[in-house]
């Protein structure tokens, strides 16, 4: 079997189509029944060519033979021929609407096309018709997860395990759902159960590794990192790109991992939608694609850009395939776009067809390989120019994305060999800013209200837990030991992460009480205001703070960073350069620790930096939203000019204006 067949046969733990679930005979003639039995046997044994010939012969004699239509559709699905599979199984269901197994198998095909809502309806119909099997509950759970219906997904995974307790794939999928629910400790147990049932289950091992990073469980982390990088270098799937960024992987490793992911997870059975046709418009038509048009860090920095886009030159569409959280930010974005389309119920091909029919000139993917991403949409090539931007600080490994928007610091041109996209340099920082709307609350809480020491030095690191690594934490603990009365202020994540970080603190000879955990605040203005009570923000390596660093600087909190050799590890340096604070950039953890100590013990130095920040906040490039808008629009215009001239996409830099 080829790669498409293998992927169709065993994706995310579903029963493979060349080993179908028990079929339902419709009681045809003896001769046809005998032929079908032979064809079905061929199908089960993987002799797909012979099975297909016999199914077709049966259908030629009896065009209404339900089982042959159904399983011919299943076979075409195995071959990656989704449209034909949907048509054939659909014909079988027209003849026999209560065919539970056909509903289930049609759900599998629809799910592979990214049409989760339709797939869920088919799985639910199969259950209602009595196909109460673990496989059905498992795949229904997968579909529900893709619709962000996590509690329902968990319930179906749990029911699948009642029916089949040793179903390793369901233990793995349940773990993934629990991670998304913010229950990583329980997820670890699920992944470990999956590995106990299936010792070579690489996907479960990767899931456990990601969950362990979220709870700051660093046991055997060096060994697990080595195993992950060895698998990437050997080209062994599955490879999940996002955790690789947090584990000090080289640019080469990040590229290899992303390419493996694209090769094995992002396949299309139909040709490209855009085939070179010219579609002249008065304005360049841009579509931004994201699952995060909601209360999310990407949306907080993007909203201002969307509002500022020059409507005399650009028409701007928002294409949302994520949840609607009914937030003020969601409402603001909906209003900011010229047209806003909620397509979360549509399949990947359907969304791509919409983009093509809307005659989008430039499609901008804001997701990369982050949660809820749907790279298969642009894999259908709906637009003549396709761009990766903002959400993912690495290469996607996709040959269907023409450009990645960056800047000279995060992604020097000498990194082009490690990016499948052509590099575009904006002259300042690649991160947009929404300074007009990013206001601080009028009242700054007192330190005692925040649980902070009244007079001690407060180091701050409001970062996601998976970005905290043992070498980074070692530096932070040395600082606490060296600076008497100091505290480390962290974001509150989950109870186990808090407990593990306190334990790691104790192991390094520091009183765990010196870790202060800040709860989540619903309003960005309140979060920004409280940061004024910290003294120094400590960036992480190898995955820097991005928007979080920009937010801290806007709040008046100095940020100290260590520059690495990957996109994700150079964002802090880019942010500080654009803020006019290059003196806070270091190039090794030794320099980082030394400068942090100096800033914590030299009040005049820290005061001078704060004064410089206050002076530059309203004039520096980092927070000049209109300057940024002009530069990114120049990038889009250049991309479009290159395309209009019939030239191949190429790397370029935008000149400063």
pLDDT > 60? residue 24: no
pLDDT > 60? residue 9: no
| Total domains in the fold of the chain | 1
CA nearest to 208, candidates 220, 129, 626: 220
pLDDT > 70? residue 83: yes
pLDDT > 50? residue 494: yes
pLDDT > 70? residue 306: yes
pLDDT > 70? residue 237: yes
Does residue 267 belong to any structural domain of this protein? no
**pLDDT of 30:** 57
Does residue 170 belong to any structural domain of this protein? no
**pLDDT of 271:** 86
**pLDDT of 27:** 42
For residues 105 and 88, is the Cβ–Cβ distance under 8 A? no
Average pLDDT over residues 339-368: 96
One DSSP character per residue, 595-641 reads HHHHHHH-HHHHHHHHHHHHHHTTTSGGG-HHHHHHHHHHHHHHHHH
**pLDDT of 236:** 85
Does residue 535 belong to any structural domain of this protein? yes
Angle of helix 168-180 relative to helix 202-214, nearest 10 degrees, comes to 20
Secondary structure (3-state) at 92? helix
Average pLDDT of the chain, as a whole number: 93
The residue ranking higher by pLDDT, 100 or 21, is: 100
State how far the Cα of 531 lies from the Cα of 159, in Å rounded to an integer.
45
Average pLDDT over residues 547-558: 96
Question: In what order do the strands lie in the sheet containing 422-425?
Answer: 339-342, 314-320, 284-290, 362-365, 385-388, 403-406, 422-425, 652-653
pLDDT > 60? residue 129: yes
**pLDDT of 29:** 52
Domain extent, residue 472, equals: 447-623
Does residue 199 belong to any structural domain of this protein? no
Helix (H) and strand (E) counts for the chain?
28, 14
CA nearest to 297, candidates 405, 179, 393: 393
**pLDDT of 25:** 43
Burial of 353 (0-12, 13-18, 19+ CB in 10 A): middle
pTM for this entry: 0.91
For residues 457 and 483, is the Cβ–Cβ distance under 8 A? yes
At 581, list the tokens. Answer: 């604070």
Q: Is the peptide bond before 104 cis (omega within 30 degrees of 0)?
A: no
CATH assignment at residue 614: 3.40.50.2000
pLDDT > 90: percent of the chain: 88
Does residue 549 belong to any structural domain of this protein? yes
**pLDDT of 606:** 98
pLDDT band at 11 (very low <50, low <70, confident <90, very high): very low
pLDDT > 60? residue 567: yes
Does residue 546 belong to any structural domain of this protein? yes
Lowest model confidence (mean pLDDT) among 238-242, 495-499, 559-563, 608-612: 238-242
Query: Phi and psi for 29 in degrees, rounded to 5?
Result: -65, 160
For residues 285 and 383, is the Cβ–Cβ distance under 8 A? no
For residues 283 and 366, is the Cβ–Cβ distance under 8 A? no
pLDDT > 70? residue 16: no
State how far the Cα of 491 lies from the Cα of 496, in Å rounded to an integer.
13
**pLDDT of 80:** 86
pLDDT band at 301 (very low <50, low <70, confident <90, very high): very high
Partners of 314 in beta bridges: 284
Burial of 328 (0-12, 13-18, 19+ CB in 10 A): exposed
Does residue 240 belong to any structural domain of this protein? no
**pLDDT of 269:** 66
> What single-letter DSSP state applies at residue 200?
T
Does residue 556 belong to any structural domain of this protein? yes
For residues 337 and 657, is the Cβ–Cβ distance under 8 A? no
The residue ranking higher by pLDDT, 492 or 237, is: 492
């Amino acid at each position: 079997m080829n790669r498409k067949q293998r992927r169709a046969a065993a994706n995310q733990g579903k029963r493979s189509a060349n080993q179908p679930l028990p079929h339902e005979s419709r009681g045809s003639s003896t001769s046809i029944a005998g032929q079908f039995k032979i064809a079905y046997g061929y199908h089960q044994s993987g002799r797909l060519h012979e099975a297909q010939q016999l199914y077709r012969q049966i259908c030629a004699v009896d065009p209404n033979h339900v089982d042959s239509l159904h399983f011919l559709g299943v076979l075409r699905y195995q071959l990656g021929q989704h449209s034909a599979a949907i048509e054939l199984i659909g014909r079988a269901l027209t003849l026999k609407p209560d065919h539970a197994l056909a509903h289930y198998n049609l759900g599998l095909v629809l799910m592979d096309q990214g049409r989760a809502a339709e797939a869920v309806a088919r799985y639910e119909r199969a259950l209602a018709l009595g196909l109460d099997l673990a496989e059905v509950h498992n795949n229904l759970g997968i579909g529900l997860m893709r619709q962000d219906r996590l509690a329902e997904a968990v319930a179906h995974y749990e029911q699948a395990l009642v029916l089949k307790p040793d179903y390793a794939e369901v233990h793995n999928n349940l773990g993934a759902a629990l991670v998304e629910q913010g229950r990583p400790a329980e997820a670890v147990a699920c992944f470990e159960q999956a590995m106990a049932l299936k010792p070579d289950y690489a996907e479960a091992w990767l899931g456990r590794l990601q969950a362990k990073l979220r709870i700051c469980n660093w046991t055997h982390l060096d060994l697990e990192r080595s195993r992950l990088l060895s698998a990437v270098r050997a080209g062994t799937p599955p490879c999940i790109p996002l955790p690789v960024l947090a584990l000090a992987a080289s640019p080469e490793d990040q590229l290899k991992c992303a390419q493996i992911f694209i090769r094995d997870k992002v396949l299309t059975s139909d040709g490209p939608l855009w085939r070179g046709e010219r579609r002249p418009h008065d304005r360049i038509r841009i579509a931004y694609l994201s699952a995060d048009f909601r209360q999310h860090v990407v949306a907080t920095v993007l909203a201002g850009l969307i509002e500022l886009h020059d409507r005399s030159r650009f028409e701007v569409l928002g294409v949302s395939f994520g949840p609607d959280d009914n937030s003020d930010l969601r409402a603001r974005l909906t209003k900011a776009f010229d047209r806003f389309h909620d397509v979360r119920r549509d399949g990947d091909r359907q969304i791509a067809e919409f983009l093509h029919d809307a005659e989008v000139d430039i499609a901008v993917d804001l997701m990369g390989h982050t949660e809820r991403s749907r790279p298969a949409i642009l894999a259908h090539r709906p637009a003549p120019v396709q761009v990766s931007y903002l959400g993912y600080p690495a290469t996607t490994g996709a040959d269907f994305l023409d450009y990645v928007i960056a800047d000279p610091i995060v992604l020097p041109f000498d990194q082009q060999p490690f990016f499948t996209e052509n590099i575009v340099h904006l002259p300042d920082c690649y991160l947009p800013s929404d300074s007009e709307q990013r206001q601080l609350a009028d009242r700054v809480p007192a330190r005692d209200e925040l649980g902070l020491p009244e007079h001690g030095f407060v180091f701050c690191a409001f970062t996601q837990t998976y970005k905290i690594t043992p070498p980074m934490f070692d530096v932070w603990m040395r600082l606490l030991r060296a600076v008497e009365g100091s505290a480390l202020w962290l974001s509150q994540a989950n109870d186990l992460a808090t407990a593990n970080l306190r334990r790691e603190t104790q192991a390094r000879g520091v009183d765990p009480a010196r870790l202060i955990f800040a709860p989540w605040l619903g309003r960005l203005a309140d979060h920004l205001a409280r940061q004024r009570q910290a003294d120094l923000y400590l960036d992480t390596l190898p995955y820097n703070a991005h928007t979080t660093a920009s937010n801290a600087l806007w709040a008046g909190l100095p940020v100290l960073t260590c520059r690495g050799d990957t996109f994700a590890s150079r964002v802090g340096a880019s942010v500080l350069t654009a803020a006019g604070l290059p003196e806070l950039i270091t190039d090794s953890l030794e320099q980082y620790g030394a400068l942090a100590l100096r800033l914590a013990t030299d009040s005049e130095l820290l005061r001078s930096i704060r004064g410089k920040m206050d002076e530059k906040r309203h004039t520096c490039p980092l927070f000049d939203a209109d300057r940024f808008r002009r530069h990114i629009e120049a990038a889009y215009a250049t991309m479009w000019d290159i395309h209009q001239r019939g030239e191949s996409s190429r790397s370029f830099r935008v000149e400063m204006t």
